[in-house]
Amino acid sequence: MILYGLTAILGDLISLSALHLVWWRVMLTSLSLLFFVGFGRQILNIPRKDLWSFIGIGAIVAFHWVTFYGGVKLANASVTLVALATTSLFTSLLEPLLTDKKLDFIEVFIGLLIIPPLLLIANNIDLSMIRGFQVALLSAFLAAIFSTLNKKLVDKANSYQITFVEMASAFVFISLFIPFLTSDYTSLIPQKKDWLYLIFLSLGCTTFAFIITMKALKHVPAFDANLVINLEPVYGIILAIVLLKENTELSTRFYWGALLILLIVFSHPLIKKYKTKKNDIRP
């Protein structure tokens, strides 16, 4: 989660546009995974149907990251990270539709509790950040889709294979759009200070973090995984205050809203534990 918390900070520090930043991120990540998948040979072992599913998820991941960094560029890291907390709400609604899991009304209720503090945040940020906040909400919706689909297909291949296919397909997907959305190709070239950030973002915050997330999904539901990911604002906002001084751009009410979201997130495991304990002692 600390690594995930750094992604928004690095996105703010890197001077590239959101589209170009994600293009470099998925390309470097794909290259770093080549050794783990036998330089592509292991991909041939994945059934074609599942392979196409992972390729499609990779396209969703690409769109998620473009909108995520779009939110960072249009607003700031803190606003984007808080918007990403709605992933749990979207997951509680999407998981029963995309998998065999039954609708859990407690999960839906916890997800809905996030809406009031989000409205508090939306009403207390500068108007210039509203579009970034909306784009970040779209990013959260896409995150719920691809994490739920990954949970459904996680046993179809190993973590390295899944991550490589999704990152490589994300790279191809974005590459198809770059000629239509880039007028000056010199803007694709990172500045000197960007390279260190890009490498750490790709290898640390993507390759390593994505693989261990895929391993975690073998043992926990997608909703629980996303609730943990919702802790990303804790680390991200703290880092944004320390490194980017974003507290000068945001009001006290914004931070109250962020605190309420975090309290809701922490309440989930307690409620779930109580529910499980109650079911265990039922005759």
CA-only gyration radius of the chain, Å = 19
Q: Give the per-residue pLDDT at 269.
A: 63
Q: Give the per-residue pLDDT at 152.
A: 87
How many angstroms from the chain centroid is the CA of residue 44?
Answer: 28
Q: Where are the domains of the chain?
A: 2-281
Backbone angles phi, psi at 111, to 5 degrees: -65, -40
How many angstroms from the chain centroid is the CA of residue 232?
Answer: 9
Q: Give the per-residue pLDDT at 107.
A: 77
Q: Give the per-residue pLDDT at 103.
A: 79
Single pTM value for the model: 0.85
- 115-122 and 105-113 helices, crossing angle to 10°: 20
Which residue type occupies 279? N
Q: Give the per-residue pLDDT at 115.
A: 82
Q: Give the per-residue pLDDT at 190.
A: 93
Q: Give the per-residue pLDDT at 280.
A: 54
pLDDT, averaged in runs of 10, over the chain (283 residues)? 84 94 95 85 89 96 96 92 82 85 80 83 85 94 92 86 93 94 88 93 87 74 63 77 84 86 73 64 54
d(CA 105, CA 253): 29
